[in-house]
Amino acid sequence: MSRLVLSRRQLLARAGAAAAGGVVAACESWARRAPMVTPVPLVYDDKGGLFIEVHVHGNGPVRLLLDTGASRSTLSTPYVAMLGIPTREGATIEGTAGKVTTRDATAEIVVPGLGTEPVDVAVYDFGSYDHKCVGILGAEFLRRAPFRLRYRVPSLDWNAPRPERSVAMTLDGGIPRIGAIVNGKPLELRVDTGAAFPPGPDAYMNLTEAQAKSVGLTGEPIDVFTATGTGDAVLKLPVHRLASLEVAGVAIPRAFAIVQPRVGYFERPDAVGFLGNSVLEKLDPFFDYAAGVFGIGL
């Protein structure tokens, strides 16, 4: 019987072809498994509010505030009543300006890019300056897939790839929390896309009174803002200029800190400040709740 004899070069060529074929097969298999990036339009308005359009019980589209600072999704009492959705006894929600008693309801909400799924939502007299907004899209939905926010488009990209610049993220009661560097000192901060501030070149973030003191903000403020929060409580907020602010290795110029009084959530000894849209719009942030990753998408 004749025997095929291959030269060393032929053997290497065949081995290389087999390896290449294996790589191609592996890539094709990965491509079949990897979810497709799905861009979804958002509304980012001149007041700094970030909204997504959804359908609720087959009605809509209506807007929900896209809020990483919300541990639960919500619908307003009048809207739930209009749709005839039954409610049941709820709990108390703690916000930045106080607490509000809620009821609960099960609502079928269609979120673009995620599909339809019944979800338990909190129901209370939620109000918004945007008359199309009837509630909040919170952690129940945002933890379902990694996503990136692109403020200049504006859009949300479900199943976005993890960017190179990223840091560890924990969930504080369902709310993303990361480390940042403020005036050269490390601080823990929540990441809150429900915190609206008119877009512009300046970047405003929020600190607790204790955090503000720890980074040297003890003098007279350069301004005092007035704001409303949960339960329509009115707050007076001192504003200080920061020497520096760094998030995930990216320096944020023209940064300012708004100091939160000890009201609502900020009465808690474990409370921390937060980064809102005024900072996040300059970063196009990435969130992966399951993997515990926050990234900079720029």
What is the pTM assigned to this prediction? 0.85
pLDDT at 114: 92
pLDDT at 8: 45
Q: Which CATH superfamily is domain 162-296 in?
A: Acid Proteases (2.40.70.10)
CATH architecture of 38-149: Beta Barrel (2.40)
pLDDT at 140: 93
Phi-psi region of 210 (alpha: psi -120 to 50; beta: other; left: phi over 0): alpha
pLDDT at 96: 60
pLDDT at 34: 66
The tens digit of pLDDT for each residue in 188-227 reads: 999 999 999 999 999 999 999 999 999 999 999 999 998 7
pLDDT at 98: 63
Residue ranges per structural domain of the chain: 38-149, 162-296
pLDDT at 1: 41
> What residue ranges of the chain have pLDDT lower than 50?
1-5, 8-9, 11-12, 19-20, 23-24, 26-32
Fold agreement between 38-149 and 162-296: yes
pLDDT at 7: 53
